[in-house]
Each structure stands twice: as structure tokens, then as C-alpha cells.
Chains A and B, each alone.
Chain A
Amino acid sequence: MQKLGEELRNRAGQKIVDPEYLLFEAPREKVFMTGSEVVKEAVKRASVDASVSYPITPQSEAAHLIGELWVEGYVGVYFRGESEFGVMSEIAGCSMAGARTITTTSGPGTLRAMENFPMWAGSRLPIQLVLMARGINSPLSIQPDDLEVSFLLDTGCMVWYAENAQELFDMILAGFVVAEQPDVHVPVINVINGFFISHTRESVMLPPDDIALPPYNPYKAPMPPIDMEMPPGRFLRDPFVMKSNYISYATHTSWQFEVRAAIERARPYIKKYLGSLIEEFGDPEADIVLVSTGTGAAQSKEAVRLLEDEGVKARVVKLRTIRPFPINELRQAVKNAKVIFVPEFNVVGWLEREIRRYLYKHSDAEIIGGPRVAGGMTMPPEIIVKDVLNYLGKEVKHVY
């Protein structure tokens, strides 16, 4: 940070502003952009210190664009690692050494990197991962499919899910702010459905690019950074606690609970910086509820409009965060629901499982897992409409 007159500037020379100003108050201009381009715009305004990349469709372009920011001086460290396992370890090193970090991956890359994610969380590294979900092997598919998200739910990382490029932009900025809170300080994974968001253009409102988030302060972290600048000088991040005598099992247990507790502590910050953990859409009185995330929620909103034409009232509850799970928000939102549909972009229905778990004994609604598409299929709103009409015993007039 340097001081210029009264203004604080980051190392790229951008004026440092409060996160609240950047997210809510700064004037915004309309642009027409892909999700990948939006990643660049968010990173550009985030005083990012380090990013490490590896090619995999559909996230490569976003990673290239972060590289451009490095060339332009907006990002301090940038390079291509040897594999996603290497990349996620390299970015962990950057984070331990006190950097604000972001990286991106997709599908097989996520699974290749897997061992790193619980390590990130256990080491209290507030790394941001933008996950552009795609199918996982086998068979290989580069197409959108979000099965990979289910593997991440218990890693100790926060998992957020953006519906469109606009939300992705705001979530990346909010992601740094929330994840880096000293009492949170765990990784945040911002998910989008690959291609649908990464490769399509939509209008997005952006604040000016000469302002940016305050830089990360590693000396407020819940553990000292690895830089030999903060005591204790004797510090291993992170030790084999099992070798401590006596109740060493307690340390490991307590440590794991602490990581999960950190995710819980994110709730008020998420409310502050994202508005809410959920978004509700449609007639609040409707007792047909579509609970979904990301592109599934976008298609559900469209389905609600079509259902209205059919004389059926329905609404959408979009989950912005999966970890922390919006438990009370969801329970409240489906209080009067008679039936809940869970449209998903995978064959296993991980979101349905989550919803059943948290609504068990908290809702009398029938829960229907579906419709589900996978392997690159799109989810036309008509298939949601069809499932709802079928359930209601109404005639299905649509093309299907």
C-alpha cells in the first residue's frame, strides 16, 4: 500500500476503497461480457497478489485473462503450474506466505487437485477457487455437469454458487472479503456451471476499474503467515498433532470442528456482502417451490414464468451458498410449500440430498429430486414445467 495525498493506493496504483463502496455504492456501467471476462474484471478490482493456472476447458480463458492482469501489473505472481495437484499446492504456498490468491479449475482438474482442498481448509488458507463445473471422467466430457461439486461439500471449504456473470463478479469480490475475515479464514469455492456462464455473453454492471479492495492483511489471520515476520518464530504450518502426547486425538477433532465452525461464522458476513444466502423469486404465496442453484435456478425462474401462463403459481428458492448451507433461510422459505422440486445438472442429485437432510422434520412438503440433466445437456425450462404439470395431473401442452 502507498499513500498518495489522502488516498490509499494498492500496488497497481488503484485507489483503495471499502468493500461496501466497491460492492454497493460505486457507480456502475453496463458492459456485455462472458463469465470468463467477468472473472478478469473482478480480479482486476481485488488487489490480488497471486494466481496459478493450468489449462482445462472451460476455465482456461479465465485463467489466461488473469495472466493478462499480471502482465498489466494488477496481479503480483502468476504462472502455469505442472498439474492441478501442483497448482493447488503452489497457490497454498502463496497463501501461506501472505498473498491474496485466486485460481480456477474444472472437472477432472478438481478431482486431480482433491487432496489439497481439505489441506487448504485445515491450514486456514482463504484461497479463492472459481470452479467452472464440467463433467468428470469416465467417460471424458468437457460439457457442463456439476457432479464435481458434491465431492467438495465436506472439504472444509465454503462453497458458493453463482447464477450468472453478474453474480459471479460480485461473489468473487465478496468471496475475498468474507473468506479473509479473521474468524472465517477458510477457502471459498465460487461455482458456476461451465459454458453456460463462462462462455455466454450477458449484460453486467461493473464499477470503475481504478478502485479496488483493500489489500489482504496476513497479520490478522488466525495463524501466522509463513514469512518469518510474525511470532512465534518456531511455527510449523501445520503439525502432526497426533504426535502430541495425551489427548492428541482431541486436538485433531477440535481442529476439524474449528474449520467447520469457521464456515458457520461466515453467515453474518455473507448476509452483509451478498445480501442473503438465498434468493427468492416468484409469488411468495405459491406452494410449488423449485429449489436450485446456478443455471438450474435461472432455468427455474423461466419455468415459473411459463407456469404462470398455464395458470400455475410456483416460485424459486435459489441457494447462493451450499457451505454454509442456508438452513434457516431454506426452512423459512419453504414453510408453506406443498411440493419441492430440485432441478439439477448431475445424475446423482447431490442438492436433493442436501435439501432432504436439512428439511427432514422441518417441512411436510413432498420433495421431488429433479428434473435432472447431465453430461452437457441443457435444461430447457419446459422440462421443469412438464414435471410440475405432470405432478399436478394437468395436461402438458408444451412441445415435449
Chain B
Amino acid sequence: MATLGPSHYSPYPVAVYENILPPPPGKALLFTEVVDEEVAMREAAKAMLTRENPTIFPGPQVIYAWNEEAKEKARLIRELAEVLEAKIIPMVDYRPKYPKIDPEKEINPNHPNLTIWHNNIKACIFVGVHCHYANVALKIIRAETDCFTIALCSNAGHEDAMITLRDQHAEELKKFIEIAKEVKKEVK
């Protein structure tokens, strides 16, 4: 279990109540610490390469071919998954699904813990998920699982993730892939 939040009777931890805000532009967040992007990328790669059942959760912004950036990101995510030897489990949309999702194949922001429990995922990457849903899901994951969460966000980042990288576009993804290759040589 991750640390339970100080949010009184609610089991849901909220990083901002622990005075953690998203990182400033140009920086990343590693747990509670503001660090350089490279540092965070290294740690993220290490977490994915050393923990059990690492998984990338791509969201709608990268699953669908709605613009050129999305197409390129999808390709890079595929490559990243290969480098990190990670599974890919998509978050195709945000609907609360009945009666329940197939946790083998999908993750849902309303009960992301089901997928993480079912697949015993100990490290994961959120990418291409709309910020609100990433934030909702990351809070639940932090409360309900011991999964190491990494957010690759194209906006300001997600302080409820253990590592958050902000303003992540294709260039940054390429950089992350290169760093992941280096880290892989070191840890494997």
C-alpha cells in the first residue's frame, strides 16, 4: 500500500494536501522532489525495468489517429514498450463500464485498481490520458495499490503520480526512449 493520505476519514490521498504541486516548466517531479527531466526519466525507466509486470496505459489522446502528433506518439509508445519490456493496456475511454471491465485487456479511470490488482502491475506509465481522468485514477491507484505510477503528461503533469514528467511531446518521448535504453544496459 502506498501511504494513506492525511485526508481524514477518506482513504484517498491527495498530494496537494501534502503541499506537493506539479513541477514548474522544464522540471519533473520525483515523489516530493522537483528534479531535472533527465533524472526523472532515468528513475522512471529504472522503475519500469526493475519492477514486476511493468505496463503502459495509453489513453485516448494517443490511441486514436486524430492528428499527426497522435500518430507519431503511438509509434513511439510502442517502441518505448519494447525497450521497457512493458505490456500495453489501453484506456480507450472514460466511461464507467457495466458490469465490469476485462482487467486483462483494459484499464478504466473509475476503477483502475482492478486492472492493477488483476495483473499484479508494480510499475506503470500513464500517457495520453486527459488530465482530469489521470488525476482521478492516480489518486485511486495510490490509495488502493502499491503500483509505482509514472505520468507522461503533455500539459502540466500529475502530482499524484510518483514520477511526473510535464510537457511531454514526441521529442521528449524520443529522449525518454534513449534514456531507457541506457538504463536497461545498466540494470539488466
Using a CB–CB cutoff of 8 Å, the interface residues on chain A facing chain B are: 124, 181-183, 185, 220-224, 229-236, 239-241, 243-248, 250-251, 253-255, 257-258, 260-261, 264-265, 267-268
Contacts and interface: CB of A to CB of B under 8 A. Distances in A.
30 contacts: A182-B155, A183-B131, A183-B155, A183-B156, A183-B157, A185-B131, A185-B132, A222-B131, A222-B135, A230-B61, A231-B63, A231-B66, A232-B92, A235-B93, A244-B110, A244-B111, A246-B100, A250-B12, A250-B140, A251-B96, A251-B111, A251-B140, A254-B136, A255-B136, A260-B14, A261-B15, A264-B16, A264-B21, A265-B21, A268-B24
Contacts of B123: none
B144 interface: yes
B12 A232 contact: no
Contacts of B11: 250
A223 B130 contact: yes
A234 B97 contact: no
Contact of A254 (B130, B140, B155): B140
B149 interface: no
A268 B99 CA distance: 42
Counting from the closest, the 4 A-B pairs by CB-CB distance are A244-B96, A222-B131, A232-B93, A222-B132
B111 A247 contact: yes
Interface string B52-80: 00000000110110100000000000000
Given A182-B155, A267-B21, A268-B24, A257 B139 contact: yes
B114 interface: yes
A69 to B, nearest CB: 30
B50 interface: no
A261 B16 contact: yes
Given A251-B136, A254-B140, 7 more contacts: A124-B132, A220-B155, A233-B93, A247-B113, A254-B139, A258-B136, A261-B17
A245 B95 CA distance: 12
A75 to B, nearest CB: 27
A232 to B, nearest CB: 4
